């Protein structure tokens, strides 16, 4: 199962995102849940870095199964909008494939 831990401050702004695990929906290379979740997260991070002044601290495992984005400036409204869109997209995947992906908003 993919777990996505999203830390929010008191105003509901994203400060930290950790995605761990593997969906296990299908074999490697055929797993649409993994591909979808990964595309949403990577696309969101790439959009933040390409479209805003935000340069988040990123840590990941080369073999997959772990991606951590932290030190997100909560005053950067553009970055926060991209992150809120990311949450909506991941929730859409979770709604359809809840046996394979779990979002944890903290």
Active site residues: 22, 34
Residues 6+ apart with CB under 8 A from 97: 23, 25, 33
Under DSSP, is residue 89 helix (H, G, I), strand (E, B) or coil? helix
Expressed in angstroms, the distance from the first to the final Cα of the chain is: 19
Dist CA 43 CA 60 (whole Å): 15
């Amino acid at each position: 199962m993919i777990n996505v831990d999203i830390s929010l401050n008191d105003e509901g702004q994203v400060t930290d995102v950790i995605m761990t695990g593997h969906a296990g929906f299908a074999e490697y290379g055929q797993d649409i849940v993994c591909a979808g979740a990964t595309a949403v997260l990577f696309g969101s991070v790439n959009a933040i870095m390409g479209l805003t002044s935000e340069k988040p601290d990123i840590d990941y495992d080369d073999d997959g199964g772990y991606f951590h984005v932290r030190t997100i400036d909560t005053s950067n409204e553009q970055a926060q909008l991209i992150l809120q869109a990311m949450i909506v997209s991941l929730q859409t995947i979770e709604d359809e494939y809840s046996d394979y992906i779990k979002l944890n908003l903290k």
